[in-house]
A = this chain, B = another copy of it.
Amino acid sequence: MSGADASETTASGTARRSRLELVSDVLLETTRFFHDERFVQLLPVMLGRSTDPLGPDPGSSILRTTELDYLGQRFYLMNSMILHKQIAVREVGPIWILSPNVRLERAERGRTGRHLFEFTQADFELPGATAADVRSLMERYYARLGTALAGHPAFGRLGVEPPSFRPPWRVVTTHDLETRFGPDWEGPASTAADQPFWAVCHRREFYDREDPADPGHFLNYDLIYPGGYGEALSGAEREWDAERIRTRIRRDGVPPQAFRAYLELAHDLVPSAGAGFGIERLVRFLTKSPHVGDVQFFRRVPGETVAL
């Protein structure tokens, strides 16, 4: 190996290690935060009787959801624990999960810089909470994370500034974002921003609550990172009325058998709100890495050859 090669390897090894150290510290700080906020940490689920989002569907980038039969029951490899959270929150109260998700994305999604076919999200749900409560909780989370990580030597080694989160953050409707940036607003709006911002009121999943005071509007919210890094977090107040849930499942044309197990448990649901945020996207943003896969030791980028 030439001297130039060796130094490049060392530099890239140092960068790789710095990113992994930050992943590790983000996991620690996230764990501390939710415990201090009195959430109960549940164990993750990999195989579930219902999951969402399901692929493929006409608007989906997910190639397929993996199904398997085990001792007479059909399971799905979990795309997310959203439905499980809504069932658990009713009994346990505030919950959070460090939840690995598999989404077998189309190969072209590997080039967005933001998509993986396996990733870990911090997924939480809070009974009786409003959208504003969740936004406030998450602003506390990011502020605390920024303070905890400010002195981390990895930033200097990577040549990037430590995070400077200065909430509260702007709340913008997707209607306004579309007016200003067009239908694909996420990239340009993220690039134009210098702090994270909240994008609210998307028409999407059946379990997002429609505003009873303003039908056609939805009590959901995404957090968008600045600098072109795009979506950080996605969440909503949940629909808890089983009949409205059934009506919306029919309306959306999602395959009912995939939601049968969920619907059997979806009685006496409690109002709740929550969200999930990807650990890899967060550390990519903190480290200004070219690709979200750069922060995984075992890289899981759609369309790339996987070593192990």
Query: Which residues of A are interface residues toward B (Cβ below 8 A)?
Result: 13, 16-17, 20-21, 23-25, 27-28, 31-32, 35, 39-50, 63, 66, 68, 70-71, 73, 75, 77, 83-84, 87-88, 91-92, 98, 100, 102, 104, 107, 117-120, 261-262, 264-265, 279-280, 296-298, 300, 302-303, 305-308
A106, chain B: closest CB distance, angstroms? 9
- Please report the C-alpha to C-alpha distance between residue A98 and residue B23 in the assembled complex, in whole angstroms: 13
A120 touches B43 (CB 8 A): yes
A46 touches B102 (CB 8 A): yes
A49 touches B306 (CB 8 A): yes
Shortest Cβ distance from A107 into B: residue: B71
Task: Please list the 9 inter-chain residue pairs (A to B) with the smallest Cβ-Cβ separation, ordered nearest first.
Answer: A24-B41, A24-B40, A31-B31, A27-B41, A43-B120, A28-B35, A44-B100, A45-B298, A46-B100
The 6 sampled A-B contact pairs (Cβ below 8 Å) are A27-B41, A27-B43, A70-B104, A88-B298, A98-B98, A100-B100
B71 touches A42 (CB 8 A): no
A108, chain B: closest CB distance, angstroms? 11
B308 touches A262 (CB 8 A): yes
B49 touches A46 (CB 8 A): no
- Please report the C-alpha to C-alpha distance between residue A107 and residue B49 in the assembled complex, in whole angstroms: 18
Indicate which residue in B40, B91, B104, B118 contacts A13 across the interface (CB closer than 8 Å): B91
- Please report the C-alpha to C-alpha distance between residue A265 and residue B305 in the assembled complex, in whole angstroms: 14
Give chain B residues whose Cβ lies under 8 Å from the Cβ of A35.
24-25, 28
Give chain B residues whose Cβ lies under 8 Å from the Cβ of A31.
27-28, 31
A276, chain B: closest CB distance, angstroms? 15
- Other contacts beyond A43-B100, A91-B297: 9, CB < 8 A: A21-B40, A27-B43, A28-B35, A42-B297, A44-B100, A47-B118, A49-B307, A73-B306, A261-B308
B297 touches A88 (CB 8 A): yes
Indicate which residue in B16, B49, B71, B75 contacts A303 across the interface (CB closer than 8 Å): B71
B13 touches A43 (CB 8 A): no
Indicate which residue in B32, B43, B63, B75 contacts A280 across the interface (CB closer than 8 Å): B43
A234, chain B: closest CB distance, angstroms? 19
A47 touches B261 (CB 8 A): no
B44 touches A23 (CB 8 A): no
Q: A47-B102, A261-B307 are in contact. Are A298 and B71 (CB under 8 A)?
A: no
Indicate which residue in B13, B119, B261, B308 contacts A87 across the interface (CB closer than 8 Å): B308
Give chain B residues whose Cβ lies under 8 Å from the Cβ of A42.
20, 23-24, 297-298
Shortest Cβ distance from A86 into B: residue: B308
Listed residue (A13, A28, A303) with the most chain B CB atoms within 10 angstroms of its CB = A28
Give chain B residues whose Cβ lies under 8 Å from the Cβ of A98.
98
Give chain B residues whose Cβ lies under 8 Å from the Cβ of A16.
91
